[in-house]
């Protein structure tokens, strides 16, 4: 399940004067065997080159739908950091300058929303839309977004024709027979083959460590001596890897809704743990719906609300709603409730309408729009990048017996997401390119205090991830929203969280100890 939030030969090191990109050599050591000296040297070469070249900022292309005064540009990075003077790929970036005075400016704040596969190009619009939650920060920082390698306006990858990808209804992710499982295994293998056929030249290099190296090249191209970074969801793992490979390059770093960075967790185990957390959060939503039975008329207990969901699922499996909404499409919409409690009311209303005989709200929310060509291209691309990065980042089980055993067992108690998540990741079992060893995330020399923000009931990135990163980054500070479960809490509705993010970005200061915030209120329909 994607973790995304709504916020030639190796060259020689450039000699001579110390440039912005060359503040310190990136880290390589025996503990990170797939992330060694050739890549570290290549990252230094690329950053030094980018610091010299800078970025040619212009108005954004019309079809990017990013309006003035935001500016856009490209940064070139090596496809393969062990060959920094070899083939280059493009990274799309955009920015808006700080709104305060020159004296108030503290640098550029770079954002990644997660995924893998998410675009950060909307980040500067938080300034142009005058979002009050970002007023103080935007006075001090340029807001910078980027499309990571493989994503969107950067050199993109693809695994299947986007219109084919968008077609619905898709097969029910919950198998009713061994034949259903064989069909899903065939689809997963075909998807992996499609990735190799359409984008095989990039797949070996679609890794989180390479994206972290890209991030350092962007830092240098911006003219920044050190990085200010906000990463949400998968963006926290990108930040953790960056902080490990480039500890002395970090100035300020906030990681919000944290992927467990333990090497044994990346990525197979992470997805199993996600299934458990999604079930708990789904049940939390059901309890809330039951509390407001007078509004939704779906029952006064969790079991009664679950029965309404299962009836909708069964009806859509028997006869897809409006010919295009089956169980897979339903899950695509209804899983938003465990992600964000801002969806609790609309999801409940859609289920309530269906129970009362009106299918229109469910269809409108769940059905794909085949006429939205740009949207379908973006969706297919996002899924391709997700798959490519997770498959390349770590070694995955190749035995179907293990996948089947683990997910069959898990599905008995945690059925909401388990099989859907399994099929989404199963292409990694037959992936065509090398799968590396994950980075050992650790505190390196020069790493400053990192601010970790997390809600305890997060479904997409379970709470233990924040605990593990807090242990790995020994000087970090952890701020918890206890009892809440929205994914990506920075800039949402809790002033306790937002004030601490502001203080850290503006002053570098944090609480003297880890801090627990009371949760924001749940929605009232």
Residue 264 structure tokens: 């044994």
Q: Would you state the pLDDT for residue 1?
A: 59
Which residues are CB-contacts of 202 (< 8 A; sequence separation ≥ 6)? Answer: 79, 89, 149, 150, 155, 157, 388
Residue 29 pLDDT > 80 = no
| Catalytic hit among 172, 487, 502, 520 | 487
Residue 136 pLDDT > 80 = yes
CA-closest candidate to residue 484, choices 523, 447, 452: 523
Q: What is the dihedral of CA 95, 101, 105, 111, to 10 degrees?
A: -30
Q: Which of 127-136, 368-377, 481-490 has the lowest mean pLDDT?
A: 127-136
Which residues are CB-contacts of 77 (< 8 A; sequence separation ≥ 6)? Answer: 46, 50, 88, 89, 91, 149, 213, 214, 217
| Catalytic hit among 458, 476, 486, 520 | 458
| Cα gap 438→252, rounded to integer Å | 24
Q: Is 487 a catalytic residue?
A: yes
Q: Is 297 a catalytic residue?
A: no
Identify the three-state secondary structure at position 35: coil
Residue extents of the structural domains in the chain? 3-151+206-266+446-517
Q: What are phi and psi of 293, to 5 degrees?
A: -60, -30
- 3-state SS of 208-276? HHHHHHHHHHHHHHCCCCCEEEEEEEHHHHHHHHHHHHCHHHEEEEEEEEECCCCCCCCCHHHHHHHHH
| Catalytic hit among 119, 199, 233, 476 | 233
pLDDT digits (tens, 9 = 90+) for 327-378: 999 999 999 999 999 999 999 999 999 999 999 999 999 999 999 999 999 9
| Strand 141-146 relative to strand 3-4, pairing | unpaired
Q: Is 233 a catalytic residue?
A: yes
The burial class, CB within 10 Å (0-12 / 13-18 / 19+), for 484 is buried
Average pLDDT over residues 235-250: 99
Residue 245 pLDDT > 50 = yes
pLDDT digits (tens, 9 = 90+) for 370-424: 999 999 999 999 999 999 999 999 999 999 999 999 999 999 999 999 999 999 9
CATH number attached to the domain at 3-151+206-266+446-517 = 3.40.50.1820
Q: What are phi and psi of 441, to 5 degrees?
A: -70, 130
Q: What are phi and psi of 11, to 5 degrees?
A: -80, 175
Residue 4 structure tokens: 């995304």
Q: What are phi and psi of 157, to 5 degrees?
A: -115, 165
Residue 22 pLDDT > 90 = no
Instruction: Yes or no: say if 253 and 239 are a contact pair by the CB < 8 Å rule.
Output: yes
pLDDT band at 12 (very low <50, low <70, confident <90, very high): very low
Query: What's the distance, Cα to Cα, between the start and end of the chain in Å?
Result: 29
pLDDT digits (tens, 9 = 90+) for 79-110: 999 999 999 999 999 999 999 999 999 999 99
pLDDT averaged over the chain?
Answer: 94
Percent share of the chain, pLDDT over 90? 91
| Cα gap 325→238, rounded to integer Å | 35
Identify the three-state secondary structure at position 63: helix
| Cα gap 74→153, rounded to integer Å | 9
């Amino acid at each position: 399940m994607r973790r995304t939030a709504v916020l030639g030969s190796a060259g020689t090191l450039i000699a001579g004067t110390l440039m912005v990109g060359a503040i310190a050599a990136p880290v390589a050591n025996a503990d990170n065997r797939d992330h060694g000296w050739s890549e570290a040297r290549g990252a230094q070469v690329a950053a030094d080159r980018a610091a010299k070249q800078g970025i040619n900022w212009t108005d954004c292309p019309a079809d990017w739908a990013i309006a003035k005064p935001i500016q856009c540009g490209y940064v070139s990075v090596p496809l393969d950091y062990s060959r920094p003077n070899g083939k280059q790929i493009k990274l799309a970036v955009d920015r808006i300058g700080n709104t305060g005075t020159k004296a108030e400016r503290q640098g550029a704040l770079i954002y990644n929303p997660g995924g893998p596969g998410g675009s950060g190009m909307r980040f500067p619009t938080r300034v142009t839309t005058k979002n009050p939650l970002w007023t103080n920060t935007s006075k001090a920082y340029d807001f910078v977004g980027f499309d990571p390698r493989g994503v969107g306006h950067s050199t993109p990858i693809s695994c299947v024709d986007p219109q084919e990808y968008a077609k619905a209804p898709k097969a029910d992710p919950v198998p009713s027979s061994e034949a259903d499982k064989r069909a899903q295994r065939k689809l997963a293998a075909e998807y992996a083959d499609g990735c190799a056929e359409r984008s095989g030249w990039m797949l070996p290099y679609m890794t989180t460590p390479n994206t972290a190296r890209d991030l350092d090249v962007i830092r240098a191209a911006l003219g920044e001596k050190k990085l200010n970074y906000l990463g949400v969801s998968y963006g926290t793992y990108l930040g953790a890897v960056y902080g490990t490979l480039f500890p002395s390059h970090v100035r300020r770093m906030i990681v919000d809704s944290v992927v467990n960075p333990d090497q044994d967790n990346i990525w197979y185990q992470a997805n199993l743990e996600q299934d458990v957390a999604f079930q708990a959060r789904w049940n939390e939503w059901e309890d809330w719906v039951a509390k407001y039975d007078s509004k939704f008329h779906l029952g006064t207990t969790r079991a009664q609300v679950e029965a309404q969901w299962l009836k909708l699922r069964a009806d859509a499996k028997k006869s897809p709603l409006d010919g295009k909404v089956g169980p897979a499409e339903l899950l695509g919409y209804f899983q938003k409730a465990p992600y964000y409690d801002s969806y609790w009311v609309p999801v409940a209303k859609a289920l309530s309408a269906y129970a009362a005989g009106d299918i229109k709200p469910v269809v409108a929310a769940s059905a794909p729009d085949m006429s939205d060509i740009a949207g379908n291209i973006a969706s297919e691309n996002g899924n391709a990048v997700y798959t490519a990065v997770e498959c390349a980042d770590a070694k995955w089980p190749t035995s179907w017996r293990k996948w089947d055993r683990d997910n069959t067992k898990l599905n008995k108690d945690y059925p909401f997401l388990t099989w859907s998540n399994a099929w989404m990741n199963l292409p990694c079992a037959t992936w065509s390119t090398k799968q590396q060893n994950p980075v050992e995330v650790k505190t390196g020399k020069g790493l400053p205090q990192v601010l970790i923000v997390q809600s305890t009931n997060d479904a997409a990135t379970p709470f233990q991830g924040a605990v593990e990163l807090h242990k790995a980054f020994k000087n970090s500070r952890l701020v918890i929203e206890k009892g809440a479960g929205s994914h990506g809490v920075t800039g949402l509705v809790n002033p306790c969280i937002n004030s601490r993010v502001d203080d850290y970005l503006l002053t570098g200061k944090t609480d003297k100890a880890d801090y627990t915030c009371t949760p924001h209120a749940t929605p009232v329909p």
